[in-house]
């Protein structure tokens, strides 16, 4: 099993759907369960053995920089400030020299999950096969998601190989914001801003993308209502009672 030592935390977005909470701060700094969202992700990366994490910033970049500077625990942050938003794919490609030549994790800065019997990051690493994969994605069942998920993102075959939905098809899985990538995925990527979907679709067509279904809890945090619902559910789990 591989053990990635490098990761990227995507933290540059405007967080428009989370307004007004993101007017004065970055979405990854919003508190949940007593800690900023990004700290939950960083703590899980540390537990997985990650030693260095690239963090891209744009909206309230100074606040994120100050927070990372005050954080004493691993992984060591490398801050990349974007002059203009590069979107997910453009951001990862801009960090490729720092991320290195080995497989690396990419985690959305607002991702929040509770692990099942085996930590999700360890499951991704255990599933990795460099002969077969350029990307291993963590997905979640749409019917277990509290927020709006549209028609879903992916369908999977019995071996976890990914396909996109056909027109008007409703598929059962949504991307959970956590992935393990090979630098090979970034080859011949366009310059500037673009979505990671572009690279995924190219790799899906080549049969090089696998997905694992998350076996713990995961929250889709797009709006203030989503965040409040997650806080309520965490309170219930912690105390065994409702507010």
| Fold annotation for 6-239 | Spore Coat Polysaccharide Biosynthesis Protein SpsA; Chain A (3.90.550)
pLDDT of residue 168: 86
Question: With the CA atoms of 39, 44, 50 and 56 taken in that order, what torsion angle do they form, in degrees rounded to the nearest 10?
Answer: -40
- pLDDT at residue 2 is higher than 70: yes
Residue 94 pLDDT grade (very low, low, confident, very high; cuts 50, 70, 90):
very high
| 180-236: pLDDT as tens digits | 999 999 999 999 999 999 999 999 999 999 999 999 999 989 999 999 999 998 888
Domain extents in the chain: 6-239
Residue 147 pLDDT grade (very low, low, confident, very high; cuts 50, 70, 90):
low
């Amino acid at each position: 099993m591989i053990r990635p030592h490098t990761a990227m935390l995507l933290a540059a977005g405007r967080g428009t759907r989370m307004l007004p909470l993101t007017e004065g701060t970055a979405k990854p700094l919003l508190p949940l369960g007593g800690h900023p969202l990004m700290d939950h992700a960083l703590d899980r990366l540390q537990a997985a053995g990650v030693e260095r994490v690239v963090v891209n910033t744009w909206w309230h970049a100074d606040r994120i920089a100050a927070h990372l500077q005050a954080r004493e625990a691993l992984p060591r942050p490398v801050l990349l400030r974007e002059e203009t938003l590069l979107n997910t794919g453009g951001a990862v490609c801009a960090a490729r020299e720092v991320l290195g030549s080995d497989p690396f994790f990419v985690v959305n800065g607002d991702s929040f999950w509770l692990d099942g019997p085996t930590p999700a990051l360890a499951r991704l690493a255990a599933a990795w096969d460099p002969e077969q994969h350029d990307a291993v994605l963590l997905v979640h069942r749409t019917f277990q998601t509290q927020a709006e998920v549209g028609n879903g993102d992916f369908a999977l075959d019995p071996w976890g190989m990914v396909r996109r939905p056909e027109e008007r098809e409703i598929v059962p899985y949504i991307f959970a914001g956590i992935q393990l990538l090979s630098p090979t995925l970034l080859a011949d990527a366009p310059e500037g801003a673009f979505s990671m979907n572009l690279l995924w679709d190219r790799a899906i067509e080549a049969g090089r993308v696998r997905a694992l279904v998350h076996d713990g809890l995961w929250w889709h945090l797009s709006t203030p209502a989503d965040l409040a619902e997650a806080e309520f559910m965490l309170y219930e789990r912690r105390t065994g009672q409702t507010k």
